[in-house]
Structure 1
C-alpha cells in the first residue's frame, strides 16, 4: 500500500476537521460526525483526528467485497489503488411487469433459451433486486411520507376514521374489490399511528420502513391462506398501500353514511371528510407508484381510488376518467388480461378470485363509462382471455357470450356481482360493434343473435339472485337487495342498448320494444329511489344508478313524448304512471334528496330535471281540439294537435348525426331546444 503523503493526510486546524474526499465505498463516521470511509482509514487518513474517542466500526461485509473487487480490478488493469475508478451506485432498472409475445424482451429470451440449449446453462442475474441493497430511497419522498404520518397524528384523525369505518362495515357493505383486506389494513393503520410519539425523527423512521416494505415482493404460493397473505402488508410489514386502502375505505364510508356524528352532521362537513380522506388515498398511492413495483395490493388500491374519485369528483370528471385509465394500465402491466398462464393459475384460490373480480369490474366500468361519456373504450375483449370469479376448475371455459355455469347455492355477494358485470360487459362490447355496421340487415342479424345470448345468460343466473318481483316485495337483506337491483338494471341496460342499435336511421316512429325496456328500467330506478332507506350501497351508488340507468330511460321516454306526445298507443303503460315516475325522478333530484347543489353530478341531474319538468308541463297543459274563432275577424287558428303536427314535421331529430346517445349533459341541452318546448 502506498505511503500516505501530507497532501492526503487528515489534519486539524483551529479545531476544525475537514471531511475526507467523496468515496463510493461504505462510509464510517468518527465522534465529531465527519464522514471517513474505510478505504481512507486504511491509507492513514484520519490518523491525526484528535476528536476521535471511540474506535471505528468494522467495515461491513458488502464493503469488504467491494474493496476486494476494486483491488482485483486494479491488479488486472495495471493501476494503483489510488487510481481505481469507484464502482457505480446501485441503479434501479424499470420493472417491466407482464411482457407479451411481441415484446423485444420475450423475443431475445427465446434466443437465450436456444443458446442455452446449445452451449449449456449460464448464470443469470436476479431480476428482482433486494430492496435493502439495490434501492436508495429518495430523501424527498421520505420527507413527504413523514409529513403524512405527522399530519395524521397531529390532527388525531385515525381514531375518528376508525370509528367511521367500523360503523360503515357494520351495515354489511365494504369495498367492492378490496373488501377482504380492509379490516386488517384498518387495524394496522390504527396500531401504527397510535404507537407513534409525534416526533419528526420517528415519522422519518416510519416512512423509511414503509418504503422498504412497499418495495418488498409479496410472498405467496398455491397453499397461502388469506391471513398469511395479509401478513405481507399488515402488522410489522405495513406498506403505503395498507394506509391507502384504509383511507379509501373511510372515504367510501363517508359517501354512504349521510350522518356520522360527531365526525360530521351536515352535508358540508361530510363533503370535507370525503375530500380529506380521498386526498390521503391519492397521496399514499402517489408514494407507491415511483417505486415501480406494481402488485396486487397496488392494483386493488388503484381501482378503489378510481371508484372513490367517480363518487367524490363526479362521473364526468376528467380526473375520474384518467384514474380509470390507471386501473386498466395496472391490469395490463400485471398481465391479468391473460389469465390462462401458469403463473396466474398458481396463485391461491382466493387471490385468483380477487384478480378475476378486478378484471371483470374494471372491464365493466370501462364499458359503462365509455357509453356514459361517449368516448372510446380502453379494454378490448379481442386482446383479453379472462375467467369469471369462482371458475377454478381445470376445464373451466373463458368468459364469453355463452351462458355461464352458476352454482345453485350461489350467494349474493361482490363475487356474484362481479361475475354478472363481466358477462354484461361482454355483451355491451359486442353491441357497441353493431353501431359501426352500416348494413342494417347485417346489423339486425347480429343483434338477434346477441338477443338470444342475453336471455340465455339471464336465465342461467340462479333464481335466488334474480329480481323477478317488485323491490318492495323482495324479502332480502338491504345489501342483497342492492345487489339484485344492480344485476337487474345491468340486464335491462344491455337490452336497452341492443334495441337502440336497431333503431333505423332517420326513423320517426317509436320503437315499442325500446320504450318497454325504458319504462322497466325507469320504474326500477324510481322504486329504488323511494326505498333508498331499505338498501345498502353494494358498490354501485344510487346516484350512479340514477345518472346512468335512470336518465337513459327517462331520455328515451321524453324524446318519445316530444316526438309523439299524442300517440298514446305508443306506450304499453298508462300515461299516468309514466308521468308519475318522471315526476318522482324530477322531484327527488330537485328537492335535494339525491344530490346537493355542490355534488359533482348535480349539473347533469339538474339540467335533466328542468327538461323533464318542461316536457311534463307541456304535455299536461289543457288544450282543446275545437276550432278557436276570434270574435272580431272570425279567423280560424290551428288546433293544438295541428300545432304539434306542424312542429313534428320531421325536420328535428335528435339522433340524425349520432350512432350512440349517451344521455349525458349535451343530450338534455339539445332536447331542451326542441321547438315544442319553446312555444
Structure 2
C-alpha cells in the first residue's frame, strides 16, 4: 500500500493492483481453511481482524466484503467472550488480557466508524458489553449506563504515543459516538438537550484528560515528533464549522507532508475518506446554507478555499482505496 515501486514485483499501478488482488485471494483462502477447522481462538480472531482491515484498504469501506468481514469478526468477538469481564478468569496471563482488551477496543471502534461513515446500524452495543480498555485494569472499566466507575479516561503522565494509546483513545471516542448515534434516532425524548450537554461534557472531559504530548499543537512541519507518532496524531478531533475547518486543514497537511509520515495502521486514503471528505462536506453545506454573502465568505476564507482546492486535486491511489 505504501511502496509505489518495487521492481522485482511491480513497476506499474496495474501490476501492483494485480499483486494485491492475488495476495488478497490467498489471504481469503487461508482464512477459510482456519474457519473450517471449527476451532475458534485468539490467533484466529487476530487473523480475522487483519483480514477485515485488508478488505478496508483493498475494497473500500462501502464494499460488501468489508461489511461481511466486520460482521464475522464481531461474531467471533462475542463467541470468544471478549465482551465479558476479561480479567474475571484468574488463570489468564497478563499479556493475553491486554491482547484481548486491545482486540475488543479495536473492533468496537471499527463498528462505530463504519456506522457513522456509511449510515449503517450498529452491530456491537456497549449495553451488552463489559467495556474495558487496554493498558488498564478492570477498575477503570465503563458500565453500560455510560457513566465512568473510576476515571477510565485518565492517563498515566508517562504514557507514550503508541498503538495501545491510540487504541484507548479510539475506544473512548467510540463510546461517545454510540450514545450520539442512539440520540439521533430519539430526538423526541424530553431530556434530549440535557443528554446532548451531557455527551458534550463527557467528550470535553476525555479530551482535557489527554496528555499534552498526545495533541498536535502546531503545523506538521514544525512538530518534533517521530514519523509514526505524527501519524497517530493525525486523527482529528468550538463550533462545528471551526472543527471541520481544523480537520480539513490537518488532512491537507498530511497530504502535503506524506513523505514525512509513517503508516501507523491507517493509510492516507483512509484519513482523506473518513476525515477530509466529511469535513469538506460540512464546510460546503454550511456555506450553501448561508443566505448572506458576507456570512458565507467568513466560512470560505482564503485558507479554507485553498484547503478545499488541494483536497479536490489529490488523486487517491485507486477507487478501491477510498
TM exceeding 0.5:
yes
- Deviation readout 1:156-213 (Å, 9 max, x if unpaired): xxxxxxxxxxxxxxxxxxxxxxxxxxxxxxxxxxxxxxxxxxxxxxxxxxxxxxxxxx
**Distance across 1 between alignment mates of 2:147 and 2:255:** 32
**Distance across 2 between alignment mates of 1:387 and 1:397:** 5
- Name the residue aligned to 2:124: 379
1:390 and 2:135 are equivalent in the alignment: yes
- Deviation readout 1:408-456 (Å, 9 max, x if unpaired): 1112111111111110000000111111223376322111111111111
- Name the residue aligned to 1:349: 94
**Distance across 1 between alignment mates of 2:201 and 2:297:** 24
468-477 or 527-536, which deviates more? 468-477
Residues 175-324 of structure 1 mapped to structure 2, 5 A cutoff: 255-324=1-70
- Name the residue aligned to 1:575: 301
Check conservation: 1:401, 1:426, Cα contact below 8 A.
Answer: no
* Structure 1 segments unaligned to the other structure (5+ residues): 1-254, 493-511, 603-679
- Name the residue aligned to 2:320: 600
1:335 and 2:61 are equivalent in the alignment: no
Aligned residues: 317
Q: TM-score, normalised by structure 1?
A: 0.45
Q: CA RMSD in A?
A: 2.0
| Higher RCO by CA contacts (8 Å cutoff, separation 6 or greater) | 2
Please report how far the alpha carbon of residue 341 of structure 1 lies from its aligned counterpart in structure 2 after TM superposition: 5.5
Please report how far the alpha carbon of residue 571 of structure 1 lies from its aligned counterpart in structure 2 after TM superposition: 6.5
Aligned CA distance change for structure 1 residues 573 and 346 (closer, same or farther; 3 Å): farther
Three-state SS of the structure 2 residue aligned to 1:256 is: coil
Please report how far the alpha carbon of residue 293 of structure 1 lies from its aligned counterpart in structure 2 after TM superposition: 0.5
**Distance across 2 between alignment mates of 1:571 and 1:518:** 16
**Distance across 2 between alignment mates of 1:444 and 1:302:** 40
Please report how far the alpha carbon of residue 560 of structure 1 lies from its aligned counterpart in structure 2 after TM superposition: 2.0
- Name the residue aligned to 1:57: none
Check conservation: 1:479, 1:535, Cα contact below 8 A.
Answer: yes
* Structure 2 segments unaligned to the other structure (5+ residues): none
Higher helix share: 2
Check conservation: 1:357, 1:389, Cα contact below 8 A.
Answer: yes
Residues 390-429 of structure 1 mapped to structure 2, 5 A cutoff: 390-392=135-137, 395-398=139-142, 402=148, 403=151, 404-429=153-178
Check conservation: 2:130, 2:142, Cα contact below 8 A.
Answer: yes
- Name the residue aligned to 1:474: 223
Check conservation: 1:356, 1:386, Cα contact below 8 A.
Answer: no
**Distance across 1 between alignment mates of 2:44 and 2:108:** 18
- Name the residue aligned to 1:586: 312
**Distance across 1 between alignment mates of 2:189 and 2:248:** 28
Check conservation: 2:155, 2:211, Cα contact below 8 A.
Answer: yes
Three-state SS of the structure 2 residue aligned to 1:438 is: coil
1:483 and 2:205 are equivalent in the alignment: no
Three-state SS of the structure 2 residue aligned to 1:600 is: helix
1:464 and 2:218 are equivalent in the alignment: no
**Distance across 2 between alignment mates of 1:401 and 1:575:** 40
- Deviation readout 1:280-311 (Å, 9 max, x if unpaired): 11111100111111000000000000000011
**Distance across 2 between alignment mates of 1:440 and 1:560:** 27
Three-state SS of the structure 1 residue aligned to 2:208 is: helix
**Distance across 2 between alignment mates of 1:311 and 1:367:** 18
Structure with higher Rg: it is 1
1:451 and 2:200 are equivalent in the alignment: yes
**Distance across 2 between alignment mates of 1:466 and 1:441:** 36
Please report how far the alpha carbon of residue 601 of structure 1 lies from its aligned counterpart in structure 2 after TM superposition: 4.6
- Name the residue aligned to 2:257: 531
Check conservation: 2:10, 2:16, Cα contact below 8 A.
Answer: yes
